[in-house]
Amino acid sequence: MDTVVQTATDLVSRKCFSLPKILLLPGIVMKQPLLMAQIFPVTLLVDNLKNRLLAKFTMEIEKTSKEKTEIEGKRSRIEQYDMKYSGTLRNSGREALEFTRLRWHELTDSIQKLDTKVKKSSNAIDFTAMYKKLIYLFYIRLIS
């Protein structure tokens, strides 16, 4: 839910504040036309690369989240099955209980690793937002 709200807020923010940024462009072109001719293609290239990287991270997050959900469902079904037949497991001996414990532990570890992977990818996306702010500061200083 937080991600949806944050995305909506970012979208509104970009739309509302993009016009003042565009209005800065003529001032930059008038003051330093040669510099703008050199920087503009580089900016487009870097922005294109950033968007591709962002798309890759987003796809990775979606894939990992889906995999995590599948493993959580599998773990839940296994837990329900093991609880249903807990008496049989206890009567089967220590090996059966140890096997069950290890299986639950493996699935929990897998879920935690996938969760960490999602968080790392999300942090990388947050880094791209910081990148945008730095580029805007550069343009503002260029005008001044």
Give the 3-state secondary structure of 32-55: CHHHHHHHHHHHHHHHHHHHHHHH
What residues contact 73, with CB distance under 8 A and at least 6 apart? none
Please report, in tens digits, the pLDDT of each residue of the chain (144 residues total): 566 667 766 766 666 666 666 677 777 778 877 877 777 788 788 778 877 877 888 888 899 999 999 999 999 999 899 888 888 888 888 888 888 889 999 999 999 999 988 888 777 776 666 666 666 666 566 655
CB atoms within 10 A of CB 64: 19
The domain spans of the chain are 2-143
Q: Which is nearest to 3 in space by CA: 58, 50, 44, 56? A: 58
Distance CA 35, CA 32 (A): 5
Does the predicted TM-score (pTM) go above 0.75? Answer: no
